[in-house]
Structure 1
Amino acid sequence: MGAEGPRTRDVLGQAVGGQRRDVCTGAVLGAGHQLGEALVPVLIGVVIDQAVAKSDTGALVRWLAVLGVVYVGLSFSFRYGARAGERAAEQAAHLLRVAVVRRVLAPGGGAESGRLPGALANIATEDAKRVGAVNMAVMAGISALAGLAVSAVALLVISVPLGLMVLLGTPVLLLLGHLLSKPLEHRSEAEQERAAHASGIAADLVAGLRVLKGIGAQGAAVQRYRRTSRDSLAATLRAASAQAWQSGVVLALTGGFIALVALVGGRLAVEGDITLGQLVSAVGLALFLIGPLEVLAWVNAELAQGRASAGRIAEVLAAPLDVAAGERRLADPVRGGLRLRGVSLGGLREVDLTVAPGELLGVASTDPAAAEALLRCLGRTEDPESGSVELDGVPLTDLDPAELRTAVLVAAHDADLFDGTLRENVGAGGDPGRAMAAAAADEVARTLPLGEAAEVGEGGRSLSGGQRQRVALARALHADRTILVVHDPTTAVDAVTETRIADGVREFRSGRTTVLVTNSPSLLAVTDRVVLLDAGRIAADGPHTGLLRDDAAYRTAVLA
């Protein structure tokens, strides 16, 4: 791998090299199968010359027994060789899927930039499968070349001109097959790109289906997906056309080559240069050659598609991190003090802010972009353009994002739920009862037939918006981080429940640093103090009640 990250050939090399044992085993057994297949017409020719032509029953029985042993050997070689090849293909695809998912989930981020989630899923599944299949193609290609070599040697023994024809003609056919696969490689890459984009659009539309129905935009959404799907279909048809054209031309060239070998063999038999049995063997070998040559044409197509998919995987694996890992460790123990020094990012402008360990701080904002930027800074999904954020005096840029998130949890407003039970979504470790009560998620459990064991469905689709928010907040509380940053956790709940949640959060998080980024009066009322972000800067700082009384901008932001 280069310093800039893995390239296409690196991905292919690792996919095949990592499975070299199975690939070598499959290639050896596949070569044994091809050897047996090539020996069959040779042995039939021997039977004709040694037994049939001489009316020797004993020789006939002996050679038929040899032929039977060859058939048994080639059958078992094919079975176990194919098994090794399939195992190599599936294992390589699995490892690639793990590598892609690991990169996507890397604490430093960056892999998802410019890509829809559905596109990443397509790369992790379809592209990984195609690259894994290169193992099978390599094994089959080696086996086919072995079959061609055995056939060439047998034909040289029968007749030097026939053997030379195969030895000289096969490389030409392979070169033509490789050249013809180039258009397929380019079209396959375009096909996968369009298919991934269509998958991403579909996932995006399904995720926002309720919103689309609410604003009556189903028609526009359908039209958008229809256009994307048509583009994907057109790319697929172009790739299929290229593959059919390549396969058809290679098959025609192969057929012409085989016919030429049979024609030369027939002329040699007529002229008495070879026996009848040798002619039968030569014709049989010529027919046998169709198989390896077709396999090699298929191998070229598979390699072309594998290279295109490997390139897409390499792009994800080589995507630069949004934030780099530092070398310093968290303080032991983590006290939970936060400090922003002149932080500018997105909607933030030179923000200076100190959060004392154990403080419950409210952050109200007149601009949602400023609130989002603050969340990105505190969770270190993005580093400030200028200034610094410190945890217990250590700049976040000096810490590993993975280690930082063992102490700091940023619970986004649009947090997702997952397919599973209510309890599993809150958290499997420990007893989530206190956290659920603090977030009023225990009421959600009581409304469900199976309580905490009820299935919530993918994305929590069986729950209402307010119920999903409460479960997501319970999950954030149950994670029990030293520092918790929560963004608008109660926008979809009623006022009574919101008041209960505010009191529950304050009690649950007592003594631990908590930042509530919200304009909700109920939540801000339970904080130790509130800061107001206006035009990206700290415009006010004080108790909620005092700011309501004395600051017009704060009243407008919170009560409007």
Structure 2
Amino acid sequence: MAGGDQPAGGDLLLTAVRGQRRRLAGGVVGAICHQGGEALVPVLIGVIIDRAVATGATSGLLAWLGALAADFVLLSLGFRFGFRVTVNAAEWAGHDLRLRVAARVVDDRGGAETGRLAGELTNLATSDVRRASGVNLVMPGGTAGLAGLVVAAVALLNVSIVLGLLVLLGSPPLLWLSHLLGRPLERRSAVEQERAARASGVATDLATGLRVLKGIGAEDAAVGRYRRTSQDSLAATLRAARAQAGFDGAVLVLNGIFLAVVALLAGRLAARGEISIGGLVTAVGLAQYLLSPLGMVTNVIGQFAQARASATRIAAVLGARPAVAGGQADPVAHPRGRLRIDGLACVDGLRGVDLDVAPGELLGLVVTDPDATGALLRCLARERDPDAGVVELDGVSLADLPPGEARRLLLVAAHDADLFAGTLAENVASGLAADGPAAFAAADARTRAATLSSALAAAGADEVARALPDGVDTQISEFGRSLSGGQRQRVALARALAADPPVLVLHEPTTAVDTVTEARIATGLRELRRGRTTVLVATSPTLLAVTDRVVVLDGGGVRADGTHRHLLDSHADYRAAVLA
């Protein structure tokens, strides 16, 4: 499901079970063989006592002992086969669920990440998926448990109609009561998973921003925040554990009382002579055996309660409303790069913005309001739909294109873009317009070297490569934490330049570099993007000086338009913004 129509948690569990029905069928067969064999053990022992031991027939005793041995072989093989197939079903169901969650999170239309930290999504894709897919692990056992109850009831009917009816009529109310006892467990498990996911998200944020936190001396505040979140998670976990313990204890007591009644009634019938000694042994053995199937069925109830809570959280992500609508228009065959913004408005800073960027133009855009900057970049990047107005590329509205296609044609490179774990070359290659690293790896060595060299040089990242021990083959840690802020920014800029989109929007790409490097980047940027439409959203005079023209957005709309030199001479607000 791509999002928008939220499935219920129960429906998601049903889908997870149906998807593994073939494996589960094998698991059920194996589990029934095991449980049926277990139920037959006291029955065979009772028969041995009545027909072999009591009569002293050696041949009969050996025959029934052989039957008992064959039964043990059957139940052993059934358990091994059923358990192996069931585990496979649970693992495959978990794999399928993780793929669905991952597909929704990376969906071009976005929305799944709204209101959720990265660590929360990670927790959901691991812990919640494990619990939800775990229903496949207990379903065969539960089914076999029901079959075991039927076999035991039939065997007891053969011994005594009263005993058989007691099991047949007493088991359903017992299981229904167990279901009612499992409801508090479901509610508390949902809270436990939510709090655990939140703690995971805060921990991920803390680890990601550790260098920044140390730089501003905010370690204690961050640790305090995590401690409070972790304590909330611990409290929820303890409440869920108490609910689990209460459920297990109550079920054990109910099962014990029920089985004690069966055993006492069997003893009373034997004392009256209504059943034989072998029948008494069978009845008592079956009473003890019934602990296993009853436990298996009630375990399904408890596991289902926890799985449904996790499935509901998964369903909320799968059914998250997309951040932007997905268009169906055909891709622009030969994009020229003409960008037109008409009446663009957003509640968070834009009011009727009109802008026309010619193909191949290098435009500087100075926005005095940070909220307006963010709103404009999100609309251009198709991270949100504007409240009014339209953004067109070569006469086609971006809203009419699939979000992924729109971003391929118009790339917005944020100034704080993250890097990935891998080599510097792989990070730059991930921006290639075709198939990213795969296309880069398939190209010949000379093409790879030329692509890297031009992008790195224009971004000033060639100096970064020379400073690293293995050059472009140096491994970079997750989020680029092994690099300085300026180095990360230059590598991210090289990645955007390597993508070579028809329209490239760069947001403050040189805030973390020195003035000499910035001047070199400005020159390299103009040369590399010559003939390709580029928009520089920046206030750096060095960058704005190489643009063809500059547009000033102030108060939510266009306030000035001209060359950098002209605006410096004639526009006081512009001068204040770029020379401050």
Distance of 1:61 and 1:482 partners within structure 2:
87
Q: 2:363 corresponds to which residue?
A: 361
Q: 1:122 corresponds to which residue?
A: 123
Q: Which moved more, 1:441-450 or 1:167-176?
A: 441-450
Q: 1:527 corresponds to which residue?
A: 547
**Is residue 439 from structure 1 mapped to residue 440 from structure 2 by the alignment?**
no
Superposed CA deviations along residues 43-102 of structure 1, whole A, max 9, x for unmatched, are: 111111222222222222222222122111111111111111111111111111111111
Superposed CA deviations along residues 376-420 of structure 1, whole A, max 9, x for unmatched, are: 111111111111111111111211112212212111122111111
1:3 Cα deviation after fit: 8.0
Find the partner of 2:575 among 520, 532, 555. Answer: 555
Does the CA contact (< 8 Å) of 2:143 and 2:297 recur in 1? Answer: no
Secondary structure, in 3 states, of the residue corresponding to 1:531? strand
The code of the aligned residue for 1:131 comes to A
Superposed CA deviations along residues 469-498 of structure 1, whole A, max 9, x for unmatched, are: 111111111122111111111111111111
Superposition map of 1:325-474 within 5 A: 325-345=326-346, 346-427=348-429, 428=437, 429-430=439-440, 431=448, 432-474=452-494
The code of the aligned residue for 1:417 comes to L
The code of the aligned residue for 2:65 comes to L
Find the partner of 1:489 among 502, 506, 509. Answer: 509
Distance of 1:354 and 1:330 partners within structure 2:
21
Secondary structure, in 3 states, of the residue corresponding to 1:196? helix
Q: 2:444 corresponds to which residue?
A: none
The code of the aligned residue for 2:456 comes to M
Superposed CA deviations along residues 352-373 of structure 1, whole A, max 9, x for unmatched, are: 0001111111111212211111
The alignment's C-alpha RMSD in Å is 1.4
Does the CA contact (< 8 Å) of 2:4 and 2:319 recur in 1? Answer: no
Distance of 1:309 and 1:550 partners within structure 2:
62
Distance of 1:434 and 1:485 partners within structure 2:
19
Q: 2:38 corresponds to which residue?
A: 37
Q: 1:280 corresponds to which residue?
A: 281
1:211 Cα deviation after fit: 2.0
Q: Which moved more, 1:325-334 or 1:127-136?
A: 325-334
The code of the aligned residue for 2:369 comes to D
Superposed CA deviations along residues 97-139 of structure 1, whole A, max 9, x for unmatched, are: 1111111111111111111121111111111111100111222
Secondary structure, in 3 states, of the residue corresponding to 2:331? coil
**Is residue 132 from structure 1 mapped to residue 147 from structure 2 by the alignment?**
no
The code of the aligned residue for 2:137 comes to M
Distance of 2:388 and 2:249 partners within structure 1:
60
Distance of 1:53 and 1:480 partners within structure 2:
92
The code of the aligned residue for 1:29 comes to G
Distance of 2:207 and 2:555 partners within structure 1:
35
Distance of 1:214 and 1:465 partners within structure 2:
12
Does the CA contact (< 8 Å) of 2:199 and 2:233 recur in 1? Answer: yes
Superposed CA deviations along residues 149-192 of structure 1, whole A, max 9, x for unmatched, are: 11111111111111111111111110111000000000000111
Q: 1:539 corresponds to which residue?
A: 559
Q: 2:51 corresponds to which residue?
A: 50
Distance of 1:48 and 1:421 partners within structure 2:
75
Distance of 1:42 and 1:457 partners within structure 2:
64
The code of the aligned residue for 2:453 comes to G
Distance of 1:406 and 1:66 partners within structure 2:
71
Q: In structure 2, do the counterparts of structure 1 residues 3 and 221 end up closer, same or farther at CA, with 3 Å as the change threshold?
A: closer
Distance of 2:469 and 2:428 partners within structure 1:
18
The code of the aligned residue for 2:165 comes to L
Distance of 2:504 and 2:60 partners within structure 1:
87
Q: Which moved more, 1:1-10 or 1:463-472?
A: 1-10
**Is residue 507 from structure 1 mapped to residue 527 from structure 2 by the alignment?**
yes
Between the aligned residues of both structures, percent identity stands at 60
Secondary structure, in 3 states, of the residue corresponding to 1:166? helix
Distance of 1:155 and 1:481 partners within structure 2:
77
Distance of 1:139 and 1:423 partners within structure 2:
50
Q: Which moved more, 1:401-410 or 1:141-150?
A: 401-410
Scaled by the length of structure 1, what TM-score is found? Answer: 0.98
Q: 1:21 corresponds to which residue?
A: 22
Superposed CA deviations along residues 2-38 of structure 1, whole A, max 9, x for unmatched, are: 9833222221121111111111211121111100111
Gaps of 5+ in 2: 430-436, 441-447
Q: 2:305 corresponds to which residue?
A: 304
The code of the aligned residue for 1:359 comes to E
Secondary structure, in 3 states, of the residue corresponding to 1:353? strand
Q: Which moved more, 1:176-185 or 1:83-92?
A: 83-92
Secondary structure, in 3 states, of the residue corresponding to 2:476? coil
Distance of 1:155 and 1:504 partners within structure 2:
89
Secondary structure, in 3 states, of the residue corresponding to 2:559? strand
Superposition map of 1:95-106 within 5 A: 95-106=96-107
Superposition map of 1:199-278 within 5 A: 199-278=200-279
Secondary structure, in 3 states, of the residue corresponding to 2:182? helix
Scaled by the length of structure 2, what TM-score is found? Answer: 0.94
1:330 Cα deviation after fit: 2.5
The code of the aligned residue for 1:319 comes to A
1:433 Cα deviation after fit: 2.5
The code of the aligned residue for 1:341 comes to D
Distance of 2:11 and 2:407 partners within structure 1:
32
1:305 Cα deviation after fit: 0.5
The code of the aligned residue for 1:304 comes to A
Distance of 2:227 and 2:118 partners within structure 1:
19
Distance of 2:82 and 2:213 partners within structure 1:
52
Q: 1:188 corresponds to which residue?
A: 189
Secondary structure, in 3 states, of the residue corresponding to 1:463? coil
Does the CA contact (< 8 Å) of 2:4 and 2:322 recur in 1? Answer: no
Superposed CA deviations along residues 493-537 of structure 1, whole A, max 9, x for unmatched, are: 111111111111111111111111111122112211111111222
**Is residue 292 from structure 1 mapped to residue 293 from structure 2 by the alignment?**
yes
Superposition map of 1:64-213 within 5 A: 64-213=65-214
Distance of 1:450 and 1:334 partners within structure 2:
38
Task: Count residues with an aligned counterpart.
Answer: 560
Secondary structure, in 3 states, of the residue corresponding to 1:375? helix
Q: In structure 2, do the counterparts of structure 1 residues 553 and 3 end up closer, same or farther at CA, with 3 Å as the change threshold?
A: closer
